[in-house]
Each structure stands twice: as structure tokens, then as C-alpha cells.
A = this chain, B = another copy of it.
């Protein structure tokens, strides 16, 4: 039983879950475990796997996974045209994104056994009359309790009326699918509770909400997300995944291990006793093993040790075809190659001793580089580029 609550930030109501699981065991009827998916951003990263790992645990115990693609909203987009994130998707884009999701999900859950639903199936059939009846089941005050709505109203920032419908739809999905449990991040607190609200209003049994913590990204502060570029994608190469994991702050090792891996509680305890460097390498190896297998994990570790710990060049590195001038000041070269965002940043990096050309540290800010075929430019510990001159 504990496995379901492990790692969860909040379970609402706390006592319901045990009861539901017990009933299911007695009746032999599996629970419906719901997870809603936004069809607009189908790249799955470790942040997503926090809930996916949790639903896998339910699936492993015979419960039914309900994956819901929120394609109805996706197809409408943002009617005010103000939110770039809510651009209108075509049927084909929705299908493509859903396939992308499912291919990646297959690494974590058994997609053969999961139910797939597109909520446009029931939502697009609602008429104005049905919408009014649905709207009659909730008050404006209740909707304004959502943190961001409350804040925006207080600050005089506009809330378009259609935004009130996103939580309604999410709640109504639970009514239609008769979900017993809904998973979500803590930022979904309000929306997941809408399921309970509407199930009750429609005379159905209320689902339990399991809210999982949000995983911080590589920067250690912001929530992991694609737009912040602080993520580890589950489709990344073994070396990329390993290297990125090695760059997270030490204090996140345990959290990553708990929320994003299949490590047992004992293994995690062991990890905490290790030196942070070793712990992080074990974490990185675990993630690569989960998504690429044990063999790949071993190779990624060897690669990392070879490159970053011994200071040698990596076996593989990006090649850039050079079309520019053959004699170029080192600062300009770094900016041109986008290895540094600005000249001042490039200058700082050189001053800190972080730039090597053909294996030699650059100390002179004014140095002119003669570009040749196979010249390797290195910035910091992990950025390499091999220049190709035709």
C-alpha cells in the first residue's frame, strides 16, 4: 500500500486511497488511474516521469491506466490569440504529438495495457445547453480560488472567461471516465480537485487526487521544463543523459533518485551515505540504464570518466563547417560558434582559463586563431566543437 503514497506531496483525501485499494483487492475490480496530457508539448523529460513512475506502480499491481490527450483544448487553441503556448493544433498535429508521447511512455509503462482517450470524443459533442448545465454546477467564487485566477483578478490582469472552462473540462473528463484516482503535479492541485467536484455533482463516486512534487531542472531552482532548457529528455543519448545528470546540484541527488528512478528505498539510503560525486554517478548510471539498458549505462560512465575526469577529448563531438575568415580573434570565434552568448562572456571565460584551442589553454584575450581542418575548440568542461574547413 505504501508504494502508492511514497514520494507523493499530497493525497486528497488522505484516507480514501487505502480504502479504494482495499475495495479493489476485495472486489477484483481494478481502479481507474487517470493522467491528463497536454497535446501541445510531447517531449517527455524526467519531470514528466515523476507521475509516470507513480502510475507504473499502479499498473504493475493490475490497475487500469487512463491516459487522456486533451486534444479538445488543443484544437481550439487560445481564442483570444494572446497565449503563444495555446496555439491551435490540427488533427494531424494532435495525432502526431500523441504518437510521440506514447512511444516515449512505452519506456516507462506498458502501453499495451493502458487505455488511451481523446477528450474531444465527448467534449466536442456538448452543445451550448449542456455547457450551461455543466456551468450550473460550479460557482464563480470556487473558480476564483485557483491561485493564478485570484492573483490576476486582484492585480487587475485580465482573465478571459474561456479560461474558466479548462478546469471544468478536466473535471468533466473524470466524470465521463469514472476515474478513481487522478495523478498530477502539485501545480495541478486545483484542476485535479475539479474531478472530485464534478463527479460529486453528477452523482458519481469521487476520485482521489495524488499530487506529486515538481522536479527542479538542471539549474536546481526552476521547475524542469522544455522552455527553460533545464531538462533531461528521456529520449536523449546515453552520454547526454549521463553528462546532464552529473551537472545537477548535489542537494537534488536524493530527490531525483526518489522521483525519477526505479531505485528502492534501501538503494536510495545507500546513495545518501555515498560521496556526492559517487552518488551522482550512480544516479546518472541508473537513469541511462532505465532508458537505454545496462550496457549503455556502463559505456556512458566510461565515456564520462574518460572525457571529464581525465581531461581527454571525447570520442564524438559536434562538427561545425566553417565558412568564415581563416584568421579570427579568439573572442569573435567563440561568439561566432555560439559557444558563448556574447563577447563579454567569452572574455570572462578566457580569463577564467576555460577556453582551449587544439588542446592548448588560451590566455591572451587578443589571440588570433588560424582556422584549420579538425581544429578542436573547447569551452568549459563539456562544450567541444570540431571545425571542418572545406
A160 on the interface (CB 8 Å rule)?
Answer: yes
A158 on the interface (CB 8 Å rule)?
Answer: yes
A325 on the interface (CB 8 Å rule)?
Answer: no
A338 on the interface (CB 8 Å rule)?
Answer: no
Q: Judging by beta carbons under 8 Å apart, are A124 and B135 in contact?
A: no
A311 on the interface (CB 8 Å rule)?
Answer: no
A203 on the interface (CB 8 Å rule)?
Answer: no
A133 on the interface (CB 8 Å rule)?
Answer: yes
Given known contacts A143-B161, A158-B141, A159-B141, is B131 in contact with A78 (CB within 8 Å)? no
Given known contacts A141-B153, A153-B141, is B126 in contact with A79 (CB within 8 Å)? no
Binary per-residue interface labels of chain A (116-160) against chain B in the complex, 1 for a CB within 8 Å, 0 otherwise: 000000011111111111011111110110000100010010111
Q: Judging by beta carbons under 8 Å apart, are B133 and A124 in contact?
A: no
A4 on the interface (CB 8 Å rule)?
Answer: no
Q: Judging by beta carbons under 8 Å apart, are B137 and A79 in contact?
A: yes
Q: Chain A interface secondary structure, helix, strand, loop or mixed?
A: helix
A79, B139: Cα distance in complex, Å: 12
A80 on the interface (CB 8 Å rule)?
Answer: yes
Residues of chain B with a CB closer than 8 A to A131's CB:
128, 131, 165
Q: Judging by beta carbons under 8 Å apart, are A129 and B160 in contact?
A: no
Binary per-residue interface labels of chain A (64-84) against chain B in the complex, 1 for a CB within 8 Å, 0 otherwise: 000000001001101110000
Residues of chain B with a CB closer than 8 A to A135's CB:
79, 160-162, 164-165
Q: Judging by beta carbons under 8 Å apart, are B129 and A162 in contact?
A: no
Given known contacts A135-B160, A156-B141, is B165 in contact with A129 (CB within 8 Å)? no
Q: Judging by beta carbons under 8 Å apart, are B129 and A127 in contact?
A: no
Q: Judging by beta carbons under 8 Å apart, are B159 and A136 in contact?
A: no
A76, B132: Cα distance in complex, Å: 8
A78, B136: Cα distance in complex, Å: 8
Given known contacts A135-B162, A158-B141, is B129 in contact with A128 (CB within 8 Å)? no
Residues of chain B with a CB closer than 8 A to A79's CB:
132-133, 135-137
Q: Judging by beta carbons under 8 Å apart, are B133 and A161 in contact?
A: no
A72, B76: Cα distance in complex, Å: 25
Residue of B nearest to A139 (CB): B158
Q: Judging by beta carbons under 8 Å apart, are A130 and B128 in contact?
A: yes
Q: Judging by beta carbons under 8 Å apart, are A138 and B124 in contact?
A: no
Residues of chain B with a CB closer than 8 A to A144's CB:
140
Q: Judging by beta carbons under 8 Å apart, are A160 and B139 in contact?
A: yes
Distance to closest chain B CB from A131 (angstroms): 5
Q: Judging by beta carbons under 8 Å apart, are A161 and B158 in contact?
A: no
Residues of chain B with a CB closer than 8 A to A132's CB:
76, 79, 162, 165
Interface residue from B123, B126, B143, B159 paired with A139 (Cβ < 8 Å): B159
Given known contacts A123-B128, A126-B127, A127-B124, is B133 in contact with A160 (CB within 8 Å)? no
Q: What 9 pairs across the A-B complex have the smallest Cβ distances?
A: A79-B136, A135-B162, A135-B161, A136-B162, A126-B128, A140-B159, A139-B158, A79-B133, A132-B162
